[in-house]
Amino acid sequence: MKADPKGVLSGAIFIDGDHACAEGAIAAGCRFAAGYPITPSTEVVERIAERFPLIGGMFIQMEDEIASSIAIQGAVWAGKKAMTVTSGPGFSLMMEHIGLAAMTETPCVFVDVQRAGPSTGLPTLPAQGDMMQARWGSHGDYGIIAICPNSPQECFDFTIKAFNLSEQYRVPVLLMMDECVGHMTERVIIPPADEIEIYPRRFYNGPPEDFLLFKPDDDLVPPIVKAGDGYNIHVTGLTHDEKGYPVMTPQAQEKLVHRLVNKINQNADKIVEYREDQIDDAEVVVISYGITSRVAIPAIEQARKDGIKVGHLRLIIAWPFPEKRIKELSERVKAFVVPEINYGQMVREVERCVGGRVIIEHVSHGGGSVHNPKDIYNKIYKSVRG
């Protein structure tokens, strides 16, 4: 279906990534947002707080991130599309509720505008240090989807994508921004509402007697209902059967949790998204995401000028990871170069997929700024010319 035109500011506007994220949420149909102030993400909810009253939305500034991350889930079960927004320390506080959303298959969006950590770290400066936390931060096994925008335009586009994927797979979707992308101001094109594709919530409309809240369709995703519709649903974070009732057995655990993991794994080919540039003749491939995918470009251009056959694979969706593609490339390239603003997170996934077949050069950065493209260039050079 197409977006509700109400509130969609179609046209070209000059805004930063945080504001673009807020506009993306509005265009996606988000009408409930909860948040707690934290740099560098606060501008997202500030814009939502400004915009919501006149378009029928409900924004509430909760008492902390724990409350925000579960208030949105209450709102989803009441039928809203909902989002919360935070940065590192708040993201840490939200972990239990990412697990709850995964376990109860509550479609919702978590935005993490990454800053340098650990702890309070560098509140106003960028990092990409929450990538593993995004995937594994809550206890137990589950699947999520994480998306990495590199511009205000993509903050807009990918917030819509985040909502759509969360509805399609009934999972929490994490928009992994960073301080640079959040505070960078660029021209953003907001299309007319009738050109914005929206994945509608998969509501069950049949009779209550036949309804099982956690009985999946063939794609492993169960349809949903909302509170107040007469289905007398029970939703629990305990291991549960298809009706939603707690069952404390290894068999129930296997059936439910394996599906939660497989829901993403088996649909990974449909979910995975990356962009490639100059890959065909490449001997070395730079794998990047988020703001670093822009910083890598001058390094790649310089290396090409210097005669190095280097290509670029940029992760749009970091989780699930495009392991098939990385494995394919590892059959024919000599090296991968992985720049990221951390001391080694997504590079571990590359290493896992490559299995020691080719050289992997990690370009680490502790956070607080983006890379100097020279550092990326040097690793590209080293990987092929040693």
Contact 230, 286 (CB under 8 A): no
Residue number, 77 or 274, with CB nearest to other proteins:
77
Q: Which residues are near other proteins by CB under 8 A? A: 32, 34, 53-54, 56, 58, 60, 62-64, 66-68, 70-80, 82, 96-97, 100, 226-238, 245-246
Residue number, 4 or 301, with CB nearest to other proteins:
4
Residue number, 14 or 203, with CB nearest to other proteins:
203
State the minimum distance, in angstroms, from the CB of residue 264 to other proteins.
22
State the minimum distance, in angstroms, from the CB of residue 79 to other proteins.
6
Residue number, 228 or 356, with CB nearest to other proteins:
228
Q: Is 28 helix (H, G, I), strand (E, B) or coil?
A: helix
Distances (CA, A) of 128 to 131, 148, 235, 250, 315: 6, 10, 34, 36, 13
CA angle in degrees (0–180, nearest 5) for 84-86-88: 145
Alpha carbons 88 and 331: distance in angstroms, whole number:
37
Cite the DSSP H helix spans in 9-58: 17-28, 42-51
Residue number, 70 or 184, with CB nearest to other proteins:
70
Instruction: Tell me which residue of 51, 54, 134 sits closest to 86, measured CA to CA.
Output: 134
Contact 341, 298 (CB under 8 A): no
Instruction: Tell me which residue of 340, 337, 344, 336 sits closest to 371, measured CA to CA.
Output: 340
Residue number, 244 or 298, with CB nearest to other proteins:
244
- Written as one letter, the residue type at 131 is M
Residue number, 204 or 274, with CB nearest to other proteins:
204
State the minimum distance, in angstroms, from the CB of residue 334 to other proteins.
48
Residue number, 96 or 351, with CB nearest to other proteins:
96
State the minimum distance, in angstroms, from the CB of residue 35 to other proteins.
12
State the minimum distance, in angstroms, from the CB of residue 209 to other proteins.
13
Residue number, 76 or 329, with CB nearest to other proteins:
76
Distances (CA, A) of 118 to 129, 247, 340, 342: 8, 38, 16, 11
Name every residue whose Cβ is closer than 8 Å to that of residue 46 and which is 6 or more positions away in sequence.
none
Cβ-based neighbour number of residue 39 at 10 Å: 17
Site of tokens 């479609």: 107
Say what the alpha-carbon torsion angle 280, 285, 288, 291 is, to the nearest 10 degrees: -80
Alpha carbons 160 and 197: distance in angstroms, whole number:
8
State the minimum distance, in angstroms, from the CB of residue 226 to other proteins.
8
State the minimum distance, in angstroms, from the CB of residue 236 to other proteins.
4
